[in-house]
Amino acid sequence: MNKHLKQLIDLSTLDKEIDSFADEEARINQRLNTVLEEQNGYRDEIETLATEIEELGNAKSKNNTLLGELTDKIKEIEKKSALIKSEKELKALQLEEEIAKEQISHANDEIARLDKIAKEKEADIATNEEKIEKLAESIAEAEKETESEMAELEKRKQETFAQKDEQIKDFPQKLLSFYQKIRRWAGSESVVPVRKQACFGCHMRLNNKIYAEVLKSEEIVNCPHCGRILYAEFEDGE
Ligand SMILES: [Zn+2]
């Protein structure tokens, strides 16, 4: 096989591996991200519940203020009733008292209702806190796993970069820029095999002449359709 073609195949194999590192990193981080997202979901829920409880508290204190006002009013009515002179006045005061008492009972019901809802929400907060606590173990595990897998990947990265540096060292500059130009648009698929007499990059069929040249592997052959560098796959890998 043409020495330069062999170099190009090796270089593109290394580049393909380098290109795959980002996906690998995302895959490694995924498990941890999933549990962290779950944890954030519970935290958000707690925050929402706490805001709702605060609003319930505000509504409750409004009702308490109202209760105070109504109690004062009833006291005033009692004072007034001591000074009453006519039946008409008495009836009017009784009616006023009745209404105030009704309002007091309504305010008390409302406070009880608000307290009940607040209690339910507090229980929901406790449930979410329990879930967060249970997740802590999974998070710690995922962190440990992520860390070790990342270290492993980092090692592979360093090795691959070193191999690439070694590869490029005795690479003819012209050949390198020729390859890099194709790589700019073809990415990891810049140097591709020929399978079933077709370019494995664009899948177009090659004519017999080009195909024969690829099989000979004496020259660097570009796909006439897409421009990628072609090579023949042999069983022994040569
Ligand atoms: Zn092609």
Interval between CA 177 and ligand 1 midpoint (Å): 19
Interval between CA 160 and ligand 1 midpoint (Å): 27
**DSSP character for 198?**
E
**DSSP character for 235?**
T
Rounded CA-CA distance 48/203 in Å is 55
Instruction: Please provide the size of the chain in residues.
Output: 238
Q: Are residue 75 and residue 144 in the same domain, yes or no?
A: yes
Give the pLDDT means over successive 10-residue stretches in the chain (238 positions): 92 95 96 96 98 98 97 94 89 94 97 98 98 95 96 97 93 93 95 96 97 95 97 69
Find the domain containing 139 and state its range: 21-170
Interval between CA 194 and ligand 1 midpoint (Å): 9
Rounded CA-CA distance 95/88 in Å is 11
Domain count, the chain: 2
Tens digits of per-residue pLDDT, 40-63? 999 999 999 999 999 999 999 999
Amino acid 133 reads E
Q: Are the CB atoms for 210 and 221 separated by under 8 Å?
A: yes
Q: Is residue 73 part of a domain?
A: yes
Q: Which residues face 232 on adjacent strands?
A: 194
Q: Is residue 152 part of a domain?
A: yes
Q: Is residue 3 part of a domain?
A: no
Tens digits of per-residue pLDDT, 147-177? 999 999 999 999 999 999 999 998 899 999 9
**DSSP character for 217?**
T
Q: Are residue 82 and residue 43 in the same domain, yes or no?
A: yes
Interval between CA 7 and ligand 1 midpoint (Å): 20
Interval between CA 186 and ligand 1 midpoint (Å): 10
Structure pTM? 0.69
Rg (CA), the chain: 40
Q: Which CATH number belongs to the domain containing residue 52 in this structure?
A: 1.10.287.1490
